[in-house]
Structure 1
């Protein structure tokens, strides 16, 4: 069972020659804009294995020389695959860490509960699984008194200097191009110090603390000068959410606005990325600027959309000169003239637009994104949380129902941790009042409501977990909001399904890994419907991680089912949520919405009242979910218009998923 198929999705179907060239000559050409060595891999695991093997060689050499090996490590999800590989080398090949000295590059401050500290997370994922001497682990003190912070930082610095500095440093990458918590504006000469965390940084790490209000306001971080003194540095970054930062670090100037860019000044720094994180590098996103291209329809479309933005013209106004002046003369050679390319790409984009997402019955579907037949279709809309369906594709959802298809919605998780305590207090107060009126002798239930209210209003401390009863109520609040939204859309009650995948039900923000049990629940459900269409959340840059796990469960199930006879007539469409939209060169189906349809979509989102102003995971974006969704849909429509296509109020966009074939 393949459980990480989402990491293998490469939307551009990037030819290997762009990231694994045949020779040094090609490598130099491709990397001409890159000011740092970049190693690009199809998936994080392969890169992590390469780094772990390199550390193993360095470590063993130190052992032969009778020296200590000083290793700097960082927390976060990016570095986790490297630690997994190092643990595997320890357990399976006997790699010893007894001569290793560990320096934790940052620590949150203050941390009242040590289980939330960065060091504790590193111990759980790495340090407790190897034979490193606990006396050789150095970390900033997260509990030191405020007036001793400076002394604590100085002690950490002295320990680092006494050990001779770092032999090897593993770094992750923050969303603002920060390394450790050296945020924009950090001096190249900065040393270990206390830094205040901005809203984005606190939002990034809120998943570890349960909610934003529990995240410390500051951190103690190793400075840039200490990091740059390391003999070797590996920076790792995975996923498209890191792609812009990687581009800025690798191809931009050295600037304190992008702290990671200072790695350009280090002789032994290497950047390790997967294809998604590399997607904004010139060699991947605009290969025509550095090499001869393997042109296909998607790459041509991407090039033309880019050209339109560079010269600020719609497609049909592009000239031969525009192509020749911007590195796209190859296309003129291939097609004979700008006019020929323009018409091809204009028609290509025009054919993505359809008001019939389930296919228009009895129509010529030669140039439509979906088949006319069969009609009506059996459709499954998978929704990771109980509101992603209407937030992400509410207009398409409405059209599928209105156009007579048999639509099923499957909510993969309960979403219970994203309900505020005040919602539970409100609902239990209403239920208590109803009980006193209609069943006043039911003292057991009255006592239960009073017990829940007392816990939430008086007894619950900042870091307390919700009780099972409270989690049940929060889950049911979200479940009934989903039913309400589905009724508004016109969906039959029997077509609403709640899968409650086990990985999610931990009661905390930290979830369990995906398991075969999760996959089998999804697989069994799909088999009961045998759909002609499946819609899935393709948020590969999902900030909270749940969307990726839910996507992996679906893709693993499809991987098992893809050889079934019924599946041969099934298509999978990926949508995106409130966070970002598909780039226009990837879009394969664009469903336009009228002003009235956009208003109906907003109303369906508003049925999820617990997810309005008080939702725990809104983040620092002050827009509510319906506002983010509308802004995104209007921006997509606006881009189509700027390229010279029809002007719509809004557009929802989809990309088809093609199952990965067996080797």
Structure 2
């Protein structure tokens, strides 16, 4: 008999950190876990605002150490909102930024001076003379003296009251790369290879990333009175665990925060995923054995011992700290059979997939559809569904200039064969081509393309996308190029998701009225586009499912049950779109990561022929073949190799658990309300 599942005690306050039971004794520094990054950002912003107001009340300044990067943007946005709407006064604030690339001009696209002014300083009333950002435009012989002056300015201001930090995937804080110790101060450093790879997307290629930077030292940071480190996303989970659970060491400079008297890690659930109390809580505390936790523990034990689930025996559980699970269930054989059957039922063959229904596949970039769910897409088409593939961004910034040059020459050489023999027209084309080629030849790294060149790059991606879905039996009539506004900056950094973006998605939902939508749940892409597209779809679906969005007479109280997997639906008060008309959301992964076995709702087996067809479709994206512009750090495999390896590994993992042996498999999570 399973013990009653008690919910984890979570605060009902919207922005409160997730309160977890004990079991954090392996953590050498306090860690607060939030369900969503936005909640975390609001909480951090409120802490900063409170500190500002506390100091104002006694007529004192507050000195802040500030970072750049995608993680703190939400904090800056909330502080700006509090300034505009609540009158938060920043006139007593003095800021010192952590770092800047070297060499780097302040007005460069990648400059942290520019970043801070665009995201924060230009929108609040911090006195100009109170803003300090390391200079990356100094002659090399002046850098050492400047760093000493920066340290002196911090001391003169009274020291840092609060430092806000991010964490790099190498474990660095600021640009204190592995090897940096607690004695270090503001200085010029050589950047680690991983850091440069992570920054490659901002600079349009790793070769353009500066090899050095000026950074506050670890010792400078540790001198602050309070430290908050923020981390979001699955790709930060491993390094967060090392920084929190390992002893302080120079390999992970963030681990030195353990020595601080008032340092706290603020992380979202994804970034906390590798902490022992989250991943394997039974190793550190007594747990209430819910079916979900029991399933995870059985899979963990099976993988650890290399034994199929149905081969596990009671002694295996006792030897691996799972006696509480044995006691809760009583019969190990029954428990293992339940977990095995639960997984087996999640394997779906074509006959149990949607048939003759309306389906939208949302693809953040023009290749995510075939990379991440090419096998499923193929089966949906074969099941005679009405499939619309909606490419949310044009992907133009990921096209190399060489591809534009090649296409321009191809068009010029093809004109006679296409019947364009007018010499005046051909001469006009040649002049235009030469102008574009001159621009590309003289373009600086990261410089925004001319708008016509941006369009040409988009058309290259569009043509490849159509060629890819043709492999699956679709054609250009099934492709929608949404060209969402947030993406059209011409640079890697995008605008925030706005009302116009939500409306683009909402209008497509209203037009198609799908019964299924497929959405990228792979949120660890280095440029953040997947996460932003996810948010736009989330907001659009919330509206689509509300009474105001229903045709006249359709708004009514509706049952909340349906065909989503158990535990995925959320009760919602008041009338909403009838369950029969609310689209089932399928979250896919594959470009950057894959769903864990215990989290997957549906496995789609793929034969060798299925996987070969999927790879053929990926190959149609020729501009991304051989060398993608933004492959991300750590993983040098091409995207077709990542897809193949992940699909093969998912199948192999199922086989190791004792389930049917497939050549490959894709994994999906299903829900009626996007988390």
Give me the TM-score of the superposition, normalised by structure 1. Answer: 0.89
Task: Tell me what 2:647 maps to.
Answer: 633
- Tell me which of 589, 604, 626 is aligned to 2:617: 604
- Separation in structure 1 between the aligned mates of residue 316 and residue 45 of structure 2, nearest angstrom: 47
- Separation in structure 1 between the aligned mates of residue 220 and residue 162 of structure 2, nearest angstrom: 12
Q: Which moved more, 1:472-481 or 1:316-325?
A: 316-325
SS at match of 2:9: helix
Task: Tell me what 1:363 maps to.
Answer: none
Task: Tell me what 1:253 maps to.
Answer: 247
Task: Tell me what 1:4 maps to.
Answer: none
Change (3 A) 1:57 1:377: closer
Contact 2:106 2:135 in 1 (8 A): no
- Separation in structure 1 between the aligned mates of residue 454 and residue 21 of structure 2, nearest angstrom: 56
Q: CA deviation at 1:235?
A: 1.0
Q: Which moved more, 1:58-67 or 1:391-400?
A: 58-67
Contact 2:179 2:250 in 1 (8 A): yes
What's the CA shift string for 1:293-341, capped at 9, x where partnerless?
A: 3444332221111122333322112221222233322322232221111
Task: Tell me what 2:470 maps to.
Answer: 487
Deviating above 6 A after TM superposition, structure 1's stretches of 4 or more consecutive aligned residues are: 18-21
Q: CA deviation at 1:565?
A: 4.2
Task: Tell me what 1:582 maps to.
Answer: 595
After superposition, residues 260-275 of structure 1 pair within 5 angstroms as 260-275=254-269
1:336 equivalent to 2:319? Answer no
1:415 equivalent to 2:408? Answer no
Contact 1:139 1:156 in 2 (8 A): no
1:385 equivalent to 2:385? Answer no
Task: Tell me what 1:616 maps to.
Answer: 629
- Tell me which of 22, 27, 30 is aligned to 2:23: 30
Task: Tell me what 2:563 maps to.
Answer: none
Task: Tell me what 1:317 maps to.
Answer: 311
- Tell me which of 420, 431, 446 is aligned to 1:439: 420
Q: Which moved more, 1:622-631 or 1:563-572?
A: 563-572
What's the CA shift string for 1:587-617, capped at 9, x where partnerless?
A: 1111111222211111111111011134321
Task: Tell me what 1:3 maps to.
Answer: none
SS at match of 1:119: helix
Q: CA deviation at 1:538?
A: 0.7
Q: CA deviation at 1:265?
A: 0.6
Task: Tell me what 1:137 maps to.
Answer: 131
Q: CA deviation at 1:109?
A: 0.9
Unaligned runs of 5+ in 1: 1-12, 361-369
Task: Tell me what 1:448 maps to.
Answer: 432
Contact 1:573 1:657 in 2 (8 A): yes
Q: CA deviation at 1:15?
A: 4.3
1:403 equivalent to 2:383? Answer yes
- Separation in structure 2 between the aligned mates of residue 484 and residue 57 of structure 1, nearest angstrom: 55
- Separation in structure 2 between the aligned mates of residue 487 and residue 52 of structure 1, nearest angstrom: 48
Task: Tell me what 2:494 maps to.
Answer: 511
Contact 1:104 1:119 in 2 (8 A): no
Task: Tell me what 2:277 maps to.
Answer: 283
Change (3 A) 1:162 1:507: same
What's the CA shift string for 1:48-73, capped at 9, x where partnerless?
A: 33333333333344344444322111
Contact 1:204 1:543 in 2 (8 A): yes
Contact 2:65 2:96 in 1 (8 A): yes
1:102 equivalent to 2:95? Answer yes
Contact 1:465 1:507 in 2 (8 A): yes
Task: Tell me what 1:522 maps to.
Answer: 505
- Separation in structure 2 between the aligned mates of residue 480 and residue 651 of structure 1, nearest angstrom: 28
- Separation in structure 1 between the aligned mates of residue 101 and residue 663 of structure 2, nearest angstrom: 45
Task: Tell me what 1:300 maps to.
Answer: 294
SS at match of 1:531: coil
Task: Tell me what 1:154 maps to.
Answer: 148
Q: CA deviation at 1:207?
A: 4.3
Change (3 A) 1:543 1:342: same
Change (3 A) 1:421 1:90: same
SS at match of 2:181: coil
After superposition, residues 218-229 of structure 1 pair within 5 angstroms as 218-229=212-223
- Separation in structure 2 between the aligned mates of residue 315 and residue 18 of structure 1, nearest angstrom: 32
- Separation in structure 2 between the aligned mates of residue 81 and residue 158 of structure 1, nearest angstrom: 30
Q: CA deviation at 1:559?
A: 1.4
- Separation in structure 2 between the aligned mates of residue 404 and residue 436 of structure 1, nearest angstrom: 41
Task: Tell me what 1:366 maps to.
Answer: none
- Separation in structure 1 between the aligned mates of residue 600 and residue 111 of structure 2, nearest angstrom: 42
Change (3 A) 1:20 1:408: closer
What's the CA shift string for 1:214-250, capped at 9, x where partnerless?
A: 3322211111111111111111112222222222222
Task: Tell me what 2:532 maps to.
Answer: 549
Give me the TM-score of the superposition, normalised by structure 2. Answer: 0.88
- Separation in structure 2 between the aligned mates of residue 268 and residue 150 of structure 1, nearest angstrom: 30
- Separation in structure 2 between the aligned mates of residue 268 and residue 461 of structure 1, nearest angstrom: 44
Contact 1:520 1:557 in 2 (8 A): yes
Task: Tell me what 1:367 maps to.
Answer: none
After superposition, residues 449-468 of structure 1 pair within 5 angstroms as 449-457=433-441, 459-468=442-451
- Separation in structure 2 between the aligned mates of residue 534 and residue 463 of structure 1, nearest angstrom: 35
Q: CA deviation at 1:569?
A: 6.3
1:352 equivalent to 2:346? Answer yes
- Separation in structure 1 between the aligned mates of residue 364 and residue 51 of structure 2, nearest angstrom: 43
Task: Tell me what 2:461 maps to.
Answer: 478
Q: CA deviation at 1:463?
A: 4.1
Q: CA deviation at 1:421?
A: 0.8
SS at match of 1:17: coil
Task: Tell me what 1:593 maps to.
Answer: 606
- Separation in structure 1 between the aligned mates of residue 337 and residue 448 of structure 2, nearest angstrom: 59
Contact 1:533 1:573 in 2 (8 A): yes
Q: CA deviation at 1:74?
A: 0.9
SS at match of 2:599: coil
Contact 1:636 1:651 in 2 (8 A): yes
Contact 1:18 1:30 in 2 (8 A): no
Task: Tell me what 1:54 maps to.
Answer: 47
Task: Tell me what 2:572 maps to.
Answer: none
Task: Tell me what 2:561 maps to.
Answer: none
1:164 equivalent to 2:147? Answer no
SS at match of 1:271: strand
- Separation in structure 2 between the aligned mates of residue 435 and residue 77 of structure 1, nearest angstrom: 45
1:235 equivalent to 2:229? Answer yes
- Separation in structure 1 between the aligned mates of residue 492 and residue 515 of structure 2, nearest angstrom: 34
- Separation in structure 2 between the aligned mates of residue 266 and residue 656 of structure 1, nearest angstrom: 42
- Separation in structure 2 between the aligned mates of residue 295 and residue 658 of structure 1, nearest angstrom: 26
Q: Which moved more, 1:215-224 or 1:525-534?
A: 525-534
Unaligned runs of 5+ in 2: 14-18, 546-575
SS at match of 2:597: coil
- Separation in structure 2 between the aligned mates of residue 136 and residue 570 of structure 1, nearest angstrom: 52
